[in-house]
């Protein structure tokens, strides 16, 4: 079989002293961290779209990267692309992948043709999965690229667009089930608005919930036991996206009774677009019992869009893995690199180097997060900070045993609270010590 990554070897762990660009410095898949091999903590996945499809086009310029895989016929190209993807994952030791329906199979002239292409590619990919042991993390449908979705999909003003999206989602769920995926993602690329002057916001949100309910009913009826995910994002491409952030999505899920079936797929760059830290989004999901999966990438703090860069910031990966460990790890989810190489990094080798940097950054984050937990100072500090709720009046508040009048009587008797320092600077130095010490 032709090699699409001839200059990329099978990438191995060589340790932090290695200068070999095609080696892992920190990702040592079988190394045990807190009782589990690294690869099970991290569950890395390849994003089909950025890795195999995106050619570097931006609003100001054409593609800089060849992504035709030497083929002109769309189906031959889809097969070559799949071969390239599985070669890549095998060489990097990536055990999962994620896809949109249109990443794996080309759109035909009619819906029937598109569906036939998808079915054929699902069987083709199933063959590659059986041969390599690589698994599907989650599937999704691209209900945002085609002009029929210019006003939205589930939230379109046009009921035929809603129906079309629903049909596409049905087939994408089938494909996910057929390939053994444990997750199905909704990322509402056009599910929002440009102006409220032309928008029935109430109906649009009700309809989005209707589409999700239909998807759950269908998936469950076909034996899908995995998680449905919503991937929050505040804006881009629309001015306002309904799935703004985790807290907003939780309100939506509870309002429509979808919270039993849906969890969150949290993307780092979407968190920062919503003016939250990545850790904030993960924490919000964790404390509400909806932590599911992660789209691993990072944004540029100077740019206001989804740059989807490969994650290299070890503070962020450490605090992310801290939340993942505290959540008890992934069950159906994993770390999907929803990240792309920069437009100027146009070679196939660059893709491997990018994944190596991202996987190493997360491995290092995992090691440091485990070290922070084992060190215990951060956890202990937080525990002590709230100690007043363990006894006396604090315990009565937590147990729901006091009224406002009783609290007033307590304040009259005890006067001003005695305050203690939050010690942010000290804690930041503890974190530095753990990461660099
Ligand atoms: C775009 C999203 C997208 C989803 C899948 O910003 O991150 O790539 O992950 O549709
Ligand atoms: Ni994403
Ligand atoms: Ni994104």
Q: Are 2 and 11 in contact (CB under 8 A)?
A: no
User: Could you give the C-alpha distances from 246 to 265, 283, 302, in angstroms and in order?
Assistant: 9, 10, 23
Binding residues: 231, 267, 270, 295, 306, 308, 338
The per-residue pLDDT for range 348-379, each reduced to its tens digit, is: 999 999 999 999 999 999 999 999 999 999 99
Where in the sequence numbering do the catalytic residues fall?
Answer: 100, 103
All domains of the chain, ordered by start, with CATH? 12-375 (3.20.20.150), 388-436 (no CATH)
Q: Are 208 and 154 in contact (CB under 8 A)?
A: yes
Ligand nearest to the CA of 295: 2
Q: Which atom of ligand 1 is nearest to the CA of 100?
A: 10
Ligand 1, pocket-test mutation among 236, 295, 336, most atoms within 8 A of CB: 295
C-beta of 267 in contact with ligand 1 (< 6 A) = yes
Instruction: List the chain residues with pLDDT less than 50.
Output: none
Residue nearest to atom 8 of ligand 1 (CA): 338
User: Could you give the C-alpha distances from 129 to 10, 82, 87, 94, in angstroms and in order?
Assistant: 18, 10, 11, 12
The per-residue pLDDT for range 46-92, each reduced to its tens digit, is: 999 999 999 999 999 999 999 999 999 999 999 999 999 999 999 99
Which residue is it, tokens 């703090």? 301
Q: Are 139 and 226 in contact (CB under 8 A)?
A: no
Integer Cα distance of 28 and 14 in angstroms: 8
Task: Give the contacts of 282 (CB within 8 A, at least 6 positions apart).
Answer: 266, 291, 294, 320, 323, 324, 327
User: Could you give the C-alpha distances from 42 to 134, 177, 296, in angstroms and in order?
Assistant: 15, 23, 11
State which H helix or E strand residue 203 sits in. Answer: helix 201-221
Q: What share of the chain is helix, strand, coil (3-state, %, to 5)?
A: 50, 10, 40
Which residue is it, tokens 């429509």? 256
Q: Are 264 and 230 in contact (CB under 8 A)?
A: yes
Strand 32-33 versus strand 23-24 pairing type = unpaired
Please give the pLDDT value at position 120.
98
C-beta of 233 in contact with ligand 1 (< 6 A) = yes
Binding residues for Mg(2+): 231, 267, 270, 295, 306, 308, 338
Phi/psi at 229 (5° precision): -125, 145
* Helix count and strand count (H, E) for the chain: 16, 14
The encoded tokens of residue 76 equal 């031959």
Please give the pLDDT value at position 2.
82
Integer Cα distance of 294 and 47 in angstroms: 12
Integer Cα distance of 249 and 244 in angstroms: 7
| pTM for this prediction | 0.97
Please give the pLDDT value at position 1.
67
The encoded tokens of residue 108 equal 């035909």
């Amino acid at each position: 079989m032709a090699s699409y990554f001839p200059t990329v070897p099978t990438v191995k762990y060589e340790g932090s002293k290695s200068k070999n660009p095609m080696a892992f410095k920190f990702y040592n898949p079988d190394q045990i961290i807190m009782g589990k091999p690294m690869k099970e903590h991290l569950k890395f996945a390849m994003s089909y779209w950025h890795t195999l499809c995106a050619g570097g086009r931006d609003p100001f310029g054409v593609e800089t990267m060849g992504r035709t895989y030497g083929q002109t016929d769309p189906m031959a190209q889809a097969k070559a692309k799949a071969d390239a993807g599985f070669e890549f994952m095998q060489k990097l030791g990536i055990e999962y992948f994620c896809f949109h329906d249109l990443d794996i199979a080309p759109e035909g002239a009619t819906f029937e043709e598109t569906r036939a292409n998808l079915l054929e590619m699902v069987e083709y990919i199933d063959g590659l999965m059986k041969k390599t042991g690589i698994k599907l993390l989650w599937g999704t449908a691209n209900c945002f690229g085609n002009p029929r979705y210019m006003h939205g999909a589930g939230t379109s003003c046009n009921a035929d667009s809603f129906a079309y999206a629903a049909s596409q989602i049905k087939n994408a769920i089938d494909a996910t089930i057929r390939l053994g995926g444990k997750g199905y993602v909704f990322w509402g690329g056009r599910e929002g608005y440009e102006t409220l002057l032309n928008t029935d916001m109430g109906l649009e949100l009700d309809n989005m919930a209707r589409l999700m309910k239909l998807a759950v009913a269908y998936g469950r009826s076909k034996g899908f036991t995995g998680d449905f995910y919503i991937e929050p994002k505040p804006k881009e491409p629309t001015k306002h996206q309904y799935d703004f952030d985790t807290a907003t999505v939780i309100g939506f899920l509870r309002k429509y009774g979808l919270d039993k079936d849906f969890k969150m797929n949290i993307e780092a760059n979407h968190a920062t677009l919503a003016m939250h830290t990545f850790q904030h989004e993960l924490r919000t999901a964790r404390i509400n019992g909806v932590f599911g999966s992660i789209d691993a990438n990072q944004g540029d703090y100077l740019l206001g869009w989804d740059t989807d860069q490969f994650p290299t910031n070890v503070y962020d990966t450490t605090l992310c893995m801290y939340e993942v460990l505290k959540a008890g790890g992934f069950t159906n989810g994993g770390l999907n690199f929803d990240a792309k190489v920069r437009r100027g990094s146009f070679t196939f080798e660059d893709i491997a180097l990018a994944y190596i940097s991202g996987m190493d950054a997360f491995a290092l984050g995992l090691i440091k997060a485990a070290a922070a937990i084992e060190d215990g100072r951060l956890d202990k500090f937080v525990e002590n900070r709230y100690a007043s709720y363990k006894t006396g009046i604090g315990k009565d508040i937590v147990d729901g045993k006091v009224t406002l009048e009783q609290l007033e009587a307590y304040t009259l008797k005890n006067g001003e609270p005695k305050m203690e320092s939050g010690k942010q600077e000290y804690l930041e130095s503890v974190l530095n010590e753990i990461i660099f010490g």
